Amino acid sequence: MTEYKAQIVCIAIVVLLLRYYIRNKQLHTVATTTYRSMVLILLMNLVFDIITVYTVNHLDTIPIWINSLTHRIFIYSLDVFIFLLFWYLFSYVRAKIHYKKLCKALFLIPIVYSFLVAMFGRLYFIQTARTNYSQGPVVYTVYFSCGFYVICMLVLCIRFGNSFRKGQRKGIIGSVVLCLIACLIQVFFPTVLMSGAFETLILFNIFLSLENPGEYVDKQTYLINQYGFFTVLEDRMIDYDENLILSAFILESDIGKKETFMMEIERIFNERFHKCVYRSSDGSISLIVSKRTESKSVDILLANYRSMIERVAYENTVQMTMTTRFCDSKKDCPRNIVEEIVKKQNELTEELISIDKSTGVKNRNAYEKRLQQLNQDHSKLEHFWCVLLDVNHLKQVNDTLGHEKGDELIRMTANILSKTTQDVGEIFRYGGDEFIVFLQNIQKYQLQSLLLAIEKERQEVVKAKEVEIEFAMGYAKWNSMEDRYIEDLVRRADQNMYITKQNMKKMENI
């Protein structure tokens, strides 16, 4: 068993690595798929390494055809591993290589030729005092093939070394150097069986520097994170000219509810569509759809995805909005696309914290920010108006009918303002029962028409809902002689509203 110790240790390391790798999420990229293949090929190589060590040293008891077959598999699996290592490196730089299809075809020639020789070429065994080993055209062809791919890797490292990030560059160069050393030892010292140990070191080195799944997983939701999303998108845009990104932006301030929704979407899409869902920003999830099929099929697929997300959002009472982004690999940059998603999410988050949840209009926080903006530049305030509205009898409604009725009264007032002024002004909930509307570039006759429209809408709501809604309104126009800040304009509108309110009370008492 002593001669098998190194192989057994290597197998144990590879199995543990494979177990950890499979249990974690992996990216669906060419590099990741290649790495998984490398793990499996190495496992097979190590197993046949043990078998051939036994069979080659028992030539008198093991049939020659078994010796020949196991050696051919072992030798060729070594060649395949070196080829996959080259292909792994090539996958990272293929975007920068012209005539990719032609290059791929040329790079396949040695491994295909090596396979044919491994199957049908001559193989014989040399006996020495220390150990026996195989030689012949099969071995020489594999050496040539491995040498070809090692040289190609060295050329890629020299030519495109600066294309890798610092950590990636160290990992790739280290792996290529280990590969070169292993090949040289195997060629000049055929009785020293160290190839499996070097291959294991290469695999582990790549895992630590490039393929650790933990780097791509969001710790809160266990979805593929933004960095993983960028990596997959970059990979897809190399192989496919047209890609579509379906993004759902979650408009929830409750972080727990938002992340639960993300995990539910990921579970459903994984089970039903075998589709990966990415956490493309703090508050959004995205899907990547490559246009491999006809556009009609893609449209149906996207419609199904949208329908599923909407249904889950409805069942979980989650507010969200969706966008579809077309990506042209010849014009678009993956980094810019990710930045667009983040920017969109930030804008929606800003809107979310600026909206009054009860009424749907802008809240006091948004009002304060708007004041700051308006106070910075008074040059555009020539026809700027402020309308202040106060709901009448709200305290009485709260005391007699309850706060729910009072809240309903506030919501109906906000709806009246939204319906009549949203297209021409900004509506803010100024206080518990007060609203402010800022109107820009409005003439006085237009303001009068707007106030009449508000009153008409109020009357229609009263008639339809059979509820009593009354509010007092006051307005004022920006006057640079009287107003130093927008707050001065609001103060004048408030005074006019108070006068209106007092007149309404006098009318009620008559």
- SS3 at position 281: strand
Q: How far apart are CA 328 and CA 259, in angstroms?
A: 31
Max mean pLDDT range (14-28, 122-136, 256-270, 318-332): 256-270
pLDDT at residue 54, as a whole number: 85
The yes-or-no verdict on residue 508 having pLDDT over 80 is no
Q: What is the 3-state secondary structure (H, E, C) of 407-458?
A: HHHHHHHHHHHHHHHCCCEEEEECCCCEEEEEEECCCHHHHHHHHHHHHHHH
The mean of the pLDDT values for the chain is 87
pLDDT tens digits along 441-478 = 999 999 999 999 999 998 988 888 777 888 999 999 99
Give the Cα separation of 28 and 33 in Å (integer): 7
Q: Cα–Cα distance between 473 and 390 in angstroms, integer?
A: 7
The pLDDT assigned to 344 comes to: 92
For the cut 60, the answer to whether the pLDDT of residue 1 exceeds it is no
User: Quick one: what percent of the chain has pLDDT higher than 90?
Assistant: 36
Q: Is the dihedral of CA 129, 135, 140, 143 positive or negative?
A: negative
- pTM above threshold 0.75: no
Q: Residue 501 pLDDT > 80, yes or no? A: yes
- Tracing tokens 């759902």 back to the chain, one arrives at 248
> Over the stretch 385-425, which tens digit does the pLDDT of each residue have?
999 999 888 888 787 878 788 888 898 999 999 999 878 89
Query: Which pLDDT does position 2 carry in this prediction?
Result: 56
d(CA 403, CA 43): 70
The C-alpha atoms of residue 183 and residue 202 are separated, in whole angstroms, by 13
Residues facing residue 387 across a β-bridge: 437, 475
Lowest mean per-residue pLDDT among 159-168, 254-263, 374-383:
159-168
Q: How far is CA 506 from CA 341, 355, 457, 468, 509, in A?
A: 56, 35, 24, 18, 5
In three-state secondary structure terms, 86 is helix
Q: For residue range 88-109, what is the model confidence (pLDDT) as tens digits? A: 999 888 878 776 677 788 899 9
Query: Which tokens sit at 385?
Result: 């108006």
pLDDT confidence bin for 3, thresholds 50/70/90: low
Region 123-151 average pLDDT? 86
What is the CB-side half-sphere exposure of residue 149 using CA atoms within 13 A?
30
Please tell me the predicted confidence (pLDDT) of residue 292: 64
Q: Give SS3 for 470.
A: coil
Cα–Cα separations (whole angstroms), residue 41 to 28, 75, 101, 103, 299: 19, 12, 25, 24, 39
CA distance 52 to 46: 10
Q: 134 has which bridge partners?
A: 125
The CA distance from 278 to 224, in Å, is 5
Bridge partners, residue 434, by sequence: 390
Q: What is the pLDDT of residue 18?
A: 83
Report which of residues 190 and 256 the model is more confident about: 256
* Rounded Cα gap, residues 144 and 298, in angstroms: 45
Task: Return the pLDDT at 384.
Answer: 94
Q: What distances in angstroms separate CA 351 from CA 43, 230, 321, 360, one per listed residue?
A: 54, 26, 13, 11
Which residues are CB-contacts of 253 (< 8 A; sequence separation ≥ 6)?
Answer: 352, 353
